[in-house]
Amino acid sequence: MNRLAELVHGVCLPFHLLRDLWKDGALRRYYLKVGVLQAITILGLAVLFTGSGKGVVETVGPDEWSEQHQEEVSRELEEARAELEEAEAGMEKLRKLQKAAEGTGVLARMAGADEEKVRAAVEHALKEAQAAEDRRRAARDAAEAKREQAEKLAGKHTVRWVIYWAALFSMLQLAQWIVIALSRDFHTVIEREVSLRTGLVPEDEPLTPRVWLNLPWVRTKMRRRWRGLVLFVLGAPVFWLATRWVPWRDEVLATLMSLWGAWWFVVFTAGKSSLAWREETAGEPWFLRVWNGLTSRVPVLSSYGSLWTNQTREVFSPAASVERRPWGLMGLAVVRALSSLPLVRCFLRPLIPVAAAHLLARAAPAAPEGLPSTGGTPG
């Protein structure tokens, strides 16, 4: 299978699993019931929390947030724009009059009129036109100042809505994490049933789902988030050093750091399945092989490589899984990123570990006979 086909396969695999799930009427109803109830609960909590935050925002300068003030700002802005357009039109008209006056003077001289009188008349007309243009320019400047002031006030109205939408999104994410943490068992049931229907050995034992806070799961989740942050930070000095004398350093460094973060996102996507953590003999991932190979004779840098290796050793197994099947897992990581959106997670989350297990099962090396199962989905 070529790389593009593997990438597309990784993206499509969760939706293929959803199609298989959908064929079973009982499982389909259970899946929809769980997802819809979670989504409704998340929306309710988010609206409740966001409403409280809205009241706090509006206590700061309440007059500026009022509907009446917003209407006044809009009216002032329209008036300023009309005055500015009028001033511009007047100045254009005066410029045309100036040209006409100059043309009249030229024609008069050609007709043999008194040159001094013509010059005096033209100069007088130009002075009057210049004075009028100065008045128009002053009016235009005043209109522009008024417009800028009105636009600044209108900008506060835009900021208000940005604050509300940002607060709503944050509350949706927080509420989503709380709801899924409390109802994770229901997703586990769906994962198990989808695994059985797609020919995969389930990673979880049968259970009766309930609403509760699984503290061991929360600790594991927090520990892996912290470990992911540490692993990301450990690569930062290396990229900083590697790009020290590179042209367009800031752009190159930002690109490398983004790719570095994406790599670890793919690794922990593979880690959603317990299959990714079972390879006890996995070797160093590609970046450690490169670093240790280049710095083996430089004591300071090799010491950093040893530190980096020790901190990374726990994730050698999922990293090796990604190296064996990078493109399919990259495609799945795209879907996982999509599933982090509010409400979408309720419906896609139970499919990600099963999809990861399918990809890893196709790429995994032969396991030693009698290897015990770790049991349970790590993430």
DSSP string, 218-265: HHHHHHHHHHHHHHHHHHHHHHHHHTTT-TTHHHHHHHHHHHHHHHHH
Q: Is position 279 within any domain?
A: yes
**67 plus 141 within the same structural domain:** yes
> What is residue 65's predicted lDDT score, i.e. its pLDDT?
47
Write down the pLDDT at residue 60: 47
Both 130 and 95 in one domain: the answer is yes
At 151, list the tokens: 């636009």
d(CA 97, CA 136): 14
Same domain, 164 and 195: no
| Sign, CA torsion 213/215/220/225 | positive
Residue type, 23: K
Would the CA dihedral through 258, 260, 263, 268 be positive or negative? negative
In a domain, 151, yes or no: yes
39 and 67 housed in the same domain: no
Contact 192, 202 (CB under 8 A): yes
Q: Is residue 131 part of a domain?
A: yes
Do both 151 and 127 map to the same domain? yes
For position 199, what pLDDT does the model report? 93
Q: Is residue 374 part of a domain?
A: no
Residues 81 and 43 in one domain: no
Amino acid sitting at position 229? L
- 69 and 17 co-located in one domain: no
Q: Which helix (H) or strand (E) holds 343?
A: none
Convert the pLDDT of each residue in 255-285 to its tens digit.
Answer: 999 999 999 999 999 999 999 999 989 999 9
pLDDT at res. 164: 75
| Domain-ending residue, one of 109, 141, 168 | 168
Could you count the other beta carbons within 10 Å of the beta carbon of residue 271?
Answer: 26
Domain boundary among 168, 198, 213: 168
Residue 371 lies in a domain: no
In a domain? residue 330: yes
| Per-residue confidence in pLDDT tens, the chain, 379 aa | 589 999 999 999 999 999 999 999 999 999 999 999 999 999 999 888 776 555 544 544 444 445 555 566 566 666 666 666 666 666 666 666 556 655 555 545 555 555 566 566 666 666 766 676 676 667 667 666 666 666 666 566 677 777 778 888 888 999 999 999 999 999 999 999 999 999 999 999 999 999 999 999 899 899 989 999 999 999 999 999 999 888 999 999 999 999 999 999 999 999 999 999 999 899 999 999 999 999 988 888 999 999 999 999 999 999 999 999 999 999 999 999 999 999 999 999 999 999 999 999 986 555 444 444 433 434 4
Phi/psi of residue 6, nearest 5 degrees:
-65, -40
Domain shared by 310 and 359, yes or no:
yes
Structural domain boundaries enclosing 229? 3-48+185-363
pLDDT at 169: 86
Asked if 40 and 84 sit in the same domain, the reply is no
Cα separation of 312 and 338, whole Å? 27
Count Cβ neighbours within 10 Å for each residue of 155-165 and write b for 16 or more, e otherwise: eeeeebeeeee
Residues 113 and 234 in one domain: no
Residues 86 and 122 in one domain: yes
Residue at 264 is within a domain? yes
| Tokens, residue 117 | 């009188």
Q: Please report the pLDDT score of residue 96 as a whole number.
A: 64
Query: Sign (positive/negative) of CA torsion 343, 347, 353, 359?
Result: negative
* 139 in a structural domain: yes
Give the angle 331-335-339 at the CA atoms, nearest 5°: 160
Instruction: Please report the pLDDT score of residue 297 as a whole number.
Output: 87
The answer to whether 50 and 164 are in contact (CB under 8 A) is: yes
Alpha carbon distance 308, 286 (integer Å): 13
Pair 43, 127 in one domain: no
User: Whose structure tokens read 């309930």?
Assistant: 210
How many helices (H) and strands (E) the chain has is answered by 14, 0
**Which residue, 289, 285, 250, is CA-closest to 266?**
285
CB atoms within 10 A of CB 223: 11
Q: How many domains does the chain have?
A: 2
